[in-house]
Structure 1
């Protein structure tokens, strides 16, 4: 097997309002699809699939056709937000066996198909999420909900817009946000919490998902941090948003992909894709995590733990 044939790319991307404007024009969506067809993801985790549930889910099927032989899954849009999450899986490698639409007390329901990868015995749970943009308490609750994806007998890859920052501020490439320099005061209210009598950057969701608690290993591995610290890829920690706004301070790494530890060991590299086409298409950069396909098969064939029913 060649190196290219052994690669399994996973992309997470928030395409602002699904690349459409308020008149329904989709020039940015078309440009985003050009970007994605170049990245050739085997799994695509999407956020802000605005109104993609309309007209018989026409937009997600059009996106699936542009990607190739992909099957789309769409979470429920809510009264509060018409921007659901979605997942696309390449049927050449991923055989869907279950689909969950986690929606209880969440700002955006979590899109969560489960697949069998090339007949590997252990299922692989895939999830696209979009944590609440305005309330830290809701984000923490949503992160807690994501932890159920790591249950016995199953592995997971999940990614999305965290609307909050990584908790390991000391070994990130960017300095912690100086909120006194941020003009958008609504963002200050949305992205900070009170801790020890001070307002500080909200890192709680990442602490829940990828933090070590009481000496115990994390629930998931932040793949960009793993790539930077274990694989020597410091540019994996590049910022992802906002590519457009100038009043929100410097760009931050709020878009992240996580995986269960065994899956993380199959990681080859993580890239944040920023170019002229990406900046025109969305205010967020796509995050590309490339795995070894043979490594994934080994991870999903390991005879450990309780197998899923």
Structure 2
């Protein structure tokens, strides 16, 4: 059976990169999520792995950053990369990928992939980070999350009395109802958003009880619990769960020496992924304004021949302003809302379909390229890959 492999590993402060890379390269993974990547390591790691590397937004404070690596010419094809300046501690690395079909074409749907490292010193921040993950859990969206959560599955975790490392106890618990509780809130937030934890799924549905095994706690620290724990976990959208065929906590003495965390290896059925990523789905997109029929502009009369099918069905009406040269007039207000926003969505989408780039539209409307991409995504536009002009992509899953 042809499979797609995703690997996750928190390599302790990047101190054993050569050993870690040598092991990861042998796994022949199609996508790797890594935590605690150190400054200057991303490029060399990517080169040694023979993969393309995508690092997270650099935030003040810790230098233990997150990264995602994608195999060159592999079954997963990079679509878009996202910066997360909102992050209170470690920003997650976040890209979207499409599946390369056997004929070389790309799947119409994409998967949002996230490599994250939850804040070690604040249960409240960890909860916020988990709540952010729910933004990728909307109906019809597909996501895979690999994180060092620095917290526990619901129902797991140590009793916290009697330990002398009070900082660690405080970090791994939260205060409520007059006492401290094991922090399992990220897990509960993710499952509330209907994400499926891969270890649980493999144990329950794939007859792989070891998939629930511990990933950390092998290094001994004075004053801390000595019990092993699973703080590194992967979650995926429920629609993707049937594609998971194997989930492994990779545990050997050699791996324990390299890092204080163990790697996770998830394998997915290529055929099942292909079926999922080619399904037609209902996804919310804003309606276009119902104002004037297309009768006066030859350039726009044939708009439906250039639009994607879902937008073509809505393109029998257009706003008053029909041309890209009219975009600045639409942008003279500080806020673009209501009918004006719908009008701009149509104009920008038509301009993009006619071959104008995001930067062209940005320069003409005096708005940022990020704003233009948001507008295009709201209109259901499939963006062209940078530098190709032909290969499609959605970008961030805002539709």
| SS of structure 1 residue aligned to 2:4 | strand
User: Contact 1:165/1:254 (CA < 8 Å) preserved in 2?
Assistant: yes
1:13 Cα shift? 0.8
| SS of structure 1 residue aligned to 2:121 | coil
1:206 Cα shift? 0.7
RMSD over aligned Cα atoms: 1.7
1:121 Cα shift? 1.1
CA distance in 2, matches of 1:229, 1:183: 37
User: Residues 254-273 of structure 1: matches in 2 within 5 Å?
Assistant: 254-273=231-250
Match of 1:149 in 2: 136
CA distance in 2, matches of 1:153, 1:262: 9
User: Residues 126-165 of structure 1: matches in 2 within 5 Å?
Assistant: 126-165=113-152
- 1:185 is aligned to 2:166: yes
Larger radius of gyration: 2
Match of 2:213 in 1: 238
Aligned residues between the structures:
278
| TM-score normalised over the length of structure 2 | 0.67
CA distance in 1, matches of 2:210, 2:162: 25
CA distance in 1, matches of 2:29, 2:212: 20
State the structure with bigger RCO (CA 8 A, min sep 6), 1 or 2.
1
CA distance in 1, matches of 2:245, 2:231: 21
1:128 Cα shift? 0.4
Match of 1:86 in 2: 67
Match of 1:63 in 2: 45
CA distance in 1, matches of 2:181, 2:141: 35
Match of 2:345 in 1: none
User: Contact 1:103/1:110 (CA < 8 Å) preserved in 2?
Assistant: no
Q: 2:204 aligns with which of 210, 213, 229?
A: 229
User: Contact 2:4/2:75 (CA < 8 Å) preserved in 1?
Assistant: no
| SS of structure 2 residue aligned to 1:60 | helix
User: Contact 1:243/1:282 (CA < 8 Å) preserved in 2?
Assistant: no
Match of 1:291 in 2: 268
- 1:37 is aligned to 2:18: no
| TM-score normalised over the length of structure 1 | 0.85
Q: 1:10 aligns with which of 6, 11, 14?
A: 6
**Range 245-254 or range 113-122, more displaced:** 245-254
User: Contact 1:77/1:83 (CA < 8 Å) preserved in 2?
Assistant: no
Runs of 5+ consecutive residues of structure 1 not aligned to the other structure: 20-27, 53-58, 170-174, 212-217
Report runs of 4+ in structure 1 exceeding 6 Å deviation. Answer: none
User: Contact 2:157/2:229 (CA < 8 Å) preserved in 1?
Assistant: no
- Per-residue displacement from partner, 1:67-125 (whole Å, max 9, x unpaired)? 23x21100122221111100011232222121112130421111111111111111111
1:176 Cα shift? 3.6
- 1:279 is aligned to 2:256: yes
Structure 1 or 2: larger helix share?
2
User: Contact 2:59/2:85 (CA < 8 Å) preserved in 1?
Assistant: no
User: Contact 1:11/1:44 (CA < 8 Å) preserved in 2?
Assistant: yes
Q: 2:109 aligns with which of 122, 142, 151?
A: 122
CA distance in 1, matches of 2:197, 2:139: 20
Match of 1:25 in 2: none
User: Contact 1:182/1:188 (CA < 8 Å) preserved in 2?
Assistant: yes
Match of 1:22 in 2: none
| SS of structure 2 residue aligned to 1:48 | strand
CA distance in 2, matches of 1:62, 1:187: 33
CA distance in 1, matches of 2:164, 2:266: 33
1:293 Cα shift? 1.3
CA distance in 2, matches of 1:108, 1:43: 20
User: Contact 2:197/2:233 (CA < 8 Å) preserved in 1?
Assistant: yes
